[in-house]
Amino acid sequence: MIQDVFIIGATGNVGSTLVRQIFAKGDTNLNLHVNITRIVGLASSTHYFYAPVGISRDEALAFVEKKGQYEAYDSLFSILDAVRNTHAPDASELVFVDVTAAKGLEPFHKKIIKDTEFGIVTANKNPIALCDYKTFRFLTHDPGRYGFRCSVMAGAEAVNFFQDLKDVNDQPKLIQGCFSGTLGYICSQLEKGKQLSAIVRDAKERGYTEPHPRDDLNGLDVARKLLILARASGYPTEMKDIDVVPFIPDAYFSHDSVERFLAAITELDTSFAVKVQQAKGKGNVLRYVAKMQCENGKPKLTVGLKEVPVASPLGSLAGTSNKIMAVCEAYPADAPYAVEAPGAGLAVTAQNIRRDLLYQLKGRKHLIER
C-alpha cells in the first residue's frame, strides 16, 4: 500500500527537515520500499500545495523554501475537504503530519479522527496537552491512526513505552525525568559557577530558548510533557492537577520585553549562586524535575527545581540531554526503565516522525534487501 503524507508546517524547521529526509532516505523509492511514501500535500500557515498524484522532490523543496506561487487558504478544514473529495482509499492510506507549533489545531485533529479514515502524526504537543483528558483519549485511542512519539522526548522511546505499559496492564507507579534541554543546559552552566542571567542571555543568543525565555523558565512546557506521559499511561489527568513551580518566581514573567526580562533576572543571580553552593555542599546538583508518583492509586504530578545527588541518574545528566525513568511491575524501583536521549533535534525528530508513519502502515513490509 502507498502511504500518502500531507505535511502541515512544511516550511518550518522540523517540517522542512522531514521533507528533505523523506527524499534523501529513499522513502519514495519503489526499489527500496514496497510501501512507498508519497508526499501529496504541503502547507505553511497561509498556503498549501496539494497534488494527489504526488509531489516531486524539486517541487517539495521549492515549497519548503517558499519559492513559487501556491494556493492561499483560510482554514485547514477547507484543505481537508479538498483531500476527502479526491482521495481513493483503495489506492492508498493517507496521514496528516502536524509539525506546527500552533495552538488551536485540536478541532482539526478531532475532525480527522472522527469523520475520516485518515491518520495523524504530530510533533506538536498542543492538541493533546491543551485539551481535556476525554479529548486526549478520543484523539489517541487508536495507535494505528494517531502517532505522537515526538511530542515528548522526540529522540527517545517515551510516549510509546507508556502507551504499551498501559496496554499490557502494568501502569507506571513512578515517572520521573528531566524533559527540557534548555533548563538542563541552564542547570549545567550554573554548576560551572556562571550567573543565571548571563546563562539565559547566552542560551537565548545560541537559539536554545524559545523566542521569549520565560516560555522555558515558567515550566509549562515541561508540565505539558509530563501530562502527555501520564495520559499516555492511562491516568485521567488534567493540567490543573500538576503542581508547577516555575524555574524562577512568577513575578518576572510579566515582562513582555525580552530585554527587560533579561535585565530583571539579574536580581536572581546571587540567590541562584547560593542555591547551587548549598546543593554542592550536600553532594547535590540542581535539576528541573518532572515527576508523577502514584499514592494509593492516585497520581501526584509535580514539576520544579530540585536538589538531586550528583551521582544519581538525573544528577549525572549533562547539558541539553533529557532523561526519563519509570517504575512499574516489570521495572521495579531497583531496576527502573531509564532512557537518556536528545529531547529534540531536527534530524532525530524527523526520523521519529517517519517511524510514527511506519507504525500506521496497515500492510507494512520491511525495506527491500539488496
Ligand X SMILES: NC(=O)c1ccc[n+]([C@@H]2O[C@H](COP(=O)([O-])OP(=O)(O)OC[C@H]3O[C@@H](n4cnc5c(N)ncnc54)[C@H](OP(=O)(O)O)[C@@H]3O)[C@@H](O)[C@H]2O)c1
Catalytic residues, which ones? 225
Of 176, 179, 174, residue with least CA distance to 342: 179
Of the residues 11, 92, 189, 233, which one makes contact with ligand X according to CB under 6 A: 11
**Short-list 358, 324, 18, CA closest to 159:** 324
Whichever of 62 and 101 has its CB closer to ligand X, that residue is: 101
Q: Is 182 in the site for ligand X (CB under 6 A)?
A: no
The total number of residues written for the chain in this structure: 370
Measured from the Cβ of residue 161, the count of other Cβ atoms closer than 10 Å reads: 20
Q: Please identify which residue in the block is written with the cell numbers 554548576.
A: 191
| Interface segment toward ligand X; rule CB under 6 A; list 34-42, 237-245, 258-266, 341-349 | 341-349
Evaluate whether 165 touches 173 at the Cβ level (below 8 Å): no
When asked if residue 75 is in the footprint of ligand X (CB under 6 A), the reply is no
Q: Which of 24, 29, 30, 46 binds ligand X (CB under 6 A)?
A: 46
Exactly one of 3, 28, 35, 124 binds ligand X (CB under 6 A); that residue is 124
44 binding ligand X? (CB under 6 A): yes
Site for ligand X contains 345 (CB under 6 A): yes
Our finding on whether 83 is near ligand X (CB under 6 A) is: no
189 near ligand X (CB under 6 A): no
Secondary structure of residue 37 in the 3-state scheme:
strand
- Count Cβ neighbours within 10 Å for each residue of 93-121 and write b for 16 or more, e otherwise: bbbbbbbbeeeebbebbbebbeebebbbb
350 binds ligand X (CB under 6 A): no
Stretch that binds ligand X, among 96-104, 127-135, 299-307, 308-316 (CB under 6 A): 96-104
Q: Which residues, at least 6 apart from 41, have a Cβ–Cβ distance to it below 8 Å?
A: 5, 6, 7, 48, 49, 50, 51, 55, 79, 83
Question: Would you count residue 248 as binding ligand X (CB under 6 A)?
Answer: no
- Contact pick of 83, 94, 128, 150 for ligand X (by CB under 6 A): 150
Task: State which of residues 100, 171, 176, 182 lies at the interface with ligand X (CB under 6 A).
Answer: 100
Is 164:359 a contact under the CB 8 Å cutoff? no
Interface residues toward ligand X, by CB under 6 A = 8-15, 43-46, 99-102, 123-124, 150, 154, 344-346, 349
